[in-house]
Amino acid sequence: VSAIDEAATELARLPGIGRKTALRLVYHLLRQPEERVRALARALVGLSERVAPCSLCFNYAERGQLCQICSDPRRDRTVICVVEEASDIAAIERAAEYRGLYHVLGGRLSPLDGVSASDLTVEALVKRVRQGGVAEIILATNASVEGEATALYVQQALEPLAVRTTRIARGLPVGGDLEYADGVTIAQALAARREM
C-alpha cells in the first residue's frame, strides 16, 4: 500500500469524509511545508497519548488532570449537568448560560446496542453526589426514547440521596442531538427545566 493510499484510507474513516475528499486532503497535505504535516501528525498522536477522561466528570482532559471545567474555580460546584457524551458539553458551553459542572455518562441506555447501566458512569455520579455539596442535578440527556429512559434511570439511582433533580425542557427537537442544537435553543431548554 502506498503512503498516499494509506493516508487516504485513514482519512476516509472520518465522519463526513468520502474517498474523494480524503484524496483531496492528502494532495493538499503533500503540497504543505513538511513542518505543517508533522505538526498535524503530532497533534493527532497527542489525542490518543495525552487525552483521558477527567477523573471527576469524565469529560475529556489532559491525562492525569481534571478537565478545564472541573479545574475552573469560577464554576458553580453545587450544580451538575448530566450529559450523554463529552461532545454535548461543547454544545451547552456555546449557549454560555450554564456555570455549573458536568457529568458525562458515556452514552445512553440502549438494549438494542447492548448498552446497559453498567456501561455508563451512573455509579460514579451517585458517589459524587453522596460526597455532598451538590444542590441540583440537571439531566440533559437527549430527547430520544433512549435519552428519556436514561434520564429516568439516573433519577431513580439518585432518589435515595434526596438531591433536587431536574430535566431540561423539550425545546429540543425530539430525537435531536444536543450536539447539533443552537445556543439559544439550549439556553431555553435549560431555563425551562422542570422537576423530575
Positions that interact with Zn ion (CB under 5 A): 54, 56-57, 59, 67, 70
- Residue 81 or 186 with smaller CB distance to Zn ion: 81
CB of 52 to Zn ion, least distance (A): 11
Helices (H), 65-144: 86-95, 122-130
- Residue 19 or 77 with smaller CB distance to Zn ion: 77
Helices (H), the chain: 3-12, 19-30, 34-50, 86-95, 122-130, 145-158, 183-191
The SS3 call for residue 47 is helix
- Residue 67 or 151 with smaller CB distance to Zn ion: 67
CB of 27 to Zn ion, least distance (A): 40
What backbone phi and psi angles, to 5 degrees, belong to 22?
-60, -45
CB of 135 to Zn ion, least distance (A): 18
